[in-house]
Amino acid sequence: MLSAGALIWTSFRPLLRLVICTASGFVITKADIFPAVAARGMGQVILNIAFPCLMFSKIVPAFTSQNVHALGPLVLVAVIYEALGMLLAWIVGQIFWVPHQFRFGILVAGGWANIGDIPTSVIMSITGAAPFQGTTDQTLAVAYISAFILVFLVTLFPLGGHHLIAMDYAGLDIEPEEVQQAMRIKRRGWVNFWVRMIRKASLSTTRMRSSDSSLEDTTRDSVNGDDEQYYEEKDPVNPERQCPAAQLHVSFHDDTTTTVPTEVGIVSRISSIEPTLIGVETQRNHVIDTELHPNNQSILPTTSVTTVDTALSESLPPPRKNRRIRVLRGSRVLKSFLTPPSISIFISFPIALIPRLKALFVEVPGTYIHPGPDGQPPLAFIMDTCNFIGAASVPLGLICLGSALAQLNVSLNRWKHLPVGAITWLAIGKLLLMPVLGVLICQGLVKVGVIAEEDKLLRFVCIFFSCLPTATTQVFLTQVYSGTGSAEHLSAFLIPQYFLMFISMTALTAYTIQLLF
């Protein structure tokens, strides 16, 4: 059992390394030494080279047939966290006003957290020392992180999560004043709705009490033997017992004509303005544009309103055209899976789980492969290279994180015009409420047997991932889809989260270590 001081220092020490690396990127960007173009280039090096090497070098030696069952709980927890984050963001968007060009982006900000550099840096530092088992737990922890990264990549790209950001910029923008006015009207509607519900509930309670008292009077009269006199004195039809909502008004006319009420309300609803088809046409244009320009490939597909060649689209028979569209969509989904990090993860797991393949890279007890001249496995040099390159992934990623934060310019004069309520409550939801829910969810999964109680490393990793801010990947996606290269609305949502992260992450780490050990 660690003392309070040791527990706080163990929890806070990994964040110091994170702060120093991030601050260095922030400073050199503010000093114009590390411009945005250089940061994007470094980001491509990390994404396509360093990070895949890190995943390969950690997954292959860490996973075995004995611990591969941990993938199920890891994927389950990752999906639950994304769903809860989107639900919290949706609730915030229903209560507080959000800029029109961030109405779907707030869902991405709530669902997809920064699961790359920050958790890898902190977890590697914590699990590399007591009370964990040093290098063994450190390697296995990074392998566990790969499950969260895989869920992040699959849900954001192949499953279309990034399209939510593109939807923010479909159609015309709406001024913040109009959005705020609509939210005020919406709130008044909610208040009026609940007032009506309370009044109806109180009225129904009063009616139930009155009916109960009349029933008691009827029963008392029946016991006294006055039933016949009671029914004779009562009118055959008591108008007070009739429901007002069920009254029928029927009139008969000698000229056999029927008066029909005017249907003003129905006509006004039917003749309302037809909905625009901007989003539908945009997607259709994107498919046709891809079909016409197959060589124009990009990692992040942009959405733009282009002119459709109707003659070409109408020349194809409908079944054939639909078939080609489905093939194009399927090919885009397949390409989304074939990113370097995903390929690295998909290759690493079979190698890790097949002993004879694994023995080519690392030593496997009970499996003999003829070694190389140096006595090492034949392909050990590949593992050494991946370790060497992968070690650069985390520090370079943190430097890019600092550079991205340095480019988020939100002046003090603008804060009074920003959605402070949504910004504050999204930060509270992700970094204060989500950790509480994460602890409860993981403890519940332990109780039902989904997570093994003795696997303390797995429990620590699952709980830790509940306390992460919004992914900076959304900054780059927003810059691509906005068409202007700006991410002004997202900037204000990110800054408070990354400040609050240091407090909540330290508290959660200390509590989790105390809970497990």
Residues 431 and 495 in one domain: yes
Q: What is the pLDDT of residues 29-77, one digit of tens each?
A: 999 999 888 888 888 898 889 989 998 998 999 888 888 899 999 999 9
Residues 319 and 381 in one domain: no
Q: How many distinct structural domains can be found in the chain?
A: 2
Residue/partner pairs of 39-45 with CB below 8 Å, 24 or more apart? 39/400, 39/403, 39/404, 39/407, 40/476, 42/396, 42/399, 42/400, 43/400, 43/476, 45/396
Higher pLDDT, 131 or 432: 432
Which pTM does this prediction carry? Answer: 0.70
Q: What percent of the chain has pLDDT over 90?
A: 34
Closest CA to 509 of 172, 187, 126: 126
* 482 occurs within a structural domain: yes
Peptide bond into 355 cis (omega under 30): no
Other CB atoms within 10 A of residue 332 CB: 17
* 201 occurs within a structural domain: no
First-to-last C-alpha distance (Å) of the chain: 6
Residues 418 and 505 in one domain: yes
Residues 475 and 377 in one domain: yes
Kindly tell me the number of DSSP H helices and DSSP E strands found in the chain.
Answer: 23, 0
- Which stretch, 233-247, 428-442, 469-483, 488-502, has highest mean pLDDT? 428-442
Q: What is the pLDDT of residues 377-401, one digit of tens each?
A: 999 999 999 999 998 988 998 898 8
Q: What is the pLDDT of residues 179-226, one digit of tens each?
A: 888 887 887 887 888 888 888 888 877 777 776 566 555 555 554 555
* 224 occurs within a structural domain: no
What mean pLDDT value characterizes the chain?
79
Residues 344 and 308 in one domain: no
- The per-residue pLDDT for 212 is 59
Other CB atoms within 10 A of residue 65 CB: 10
* 214 occurs within a structural domain: no
Rounded Cα distance between 95 and 187, Å, is: 8
In the block, residue with structure tokens 């915030």: 92
Residues 141 and 8 in one domain: yes
Other CB atoms within 10 A of residue 335 CB: 15
Q: What is the pLDDT of residues 339-356, one digit of tens each?
A: 888 889 889 999 999 999
C-alpha distances in Å from residue 405, one per residue of 41, 102, 175, 214, 500: 16, 19, 26, 71, 14
- The per-residue pLDDT for 513 is 92
Higher pLDDT, 219 or 142: 142
Asked if 362 contacts 61 with a C-beta cutoff of 8 angstroms, the reply is: yes
Residues 304 and 453 in one domain: no
Q: What is the pLDDT of residues 5-39, one digit of tens each?
A: 787 888 888 888 888 998 999 999 999 999 888 88
Residues 446 and 300 in one domain: no
Domain CATH number, residue 443: 1.20.1530
* 236 occurs within a structural domain: no
- The per-residue pLDDT for 242 is 46
* 38 occurs within a structural domain: yes
Rounded Cα distance between 183 and 190, Å, is: 10
Question: 488-516 vs 420-428: helix axis angle to the nearest 10?
Answer: 20
Q: In which domain, by residue range, is 328 found?
A: 278-335
Q: What percent of the chain has pLDDT over 70?
A: 76
CA angle 477, 482, 488 (to 5 degrees): 85
Q: What is the pLDDT of residues 351-380, one digit of tens each?
A: 999 999 999 999 998 888 888 888 899 999
Q: What is the pLDDT of residues 308-328, one digit of tens each?
A: 344 444 454 566 667 777 787
Residues 304 and 166 in one domain: no
User: 130 falls in which pLDDT band (50, 70, 90)?
Assistant: confident
Residues 32 and 87 in one domain: yes
Q: DSSP characters for 138-206?
A: HHHHHHHHHHHHHHHHHHHTTT-TTHHHHHTTSS----HHHHHHHHHHHHHHHHHHHHHHHHHHHHHHH
* 167 occurs within a structural domain: yes
Surface-to-core class of residue 91, CB atoms within 10 Å of its CB (0-12 exposed, 13-18 middle, 19+ buried): middle
Closest CA to 474 of 169, 55, 110: 110
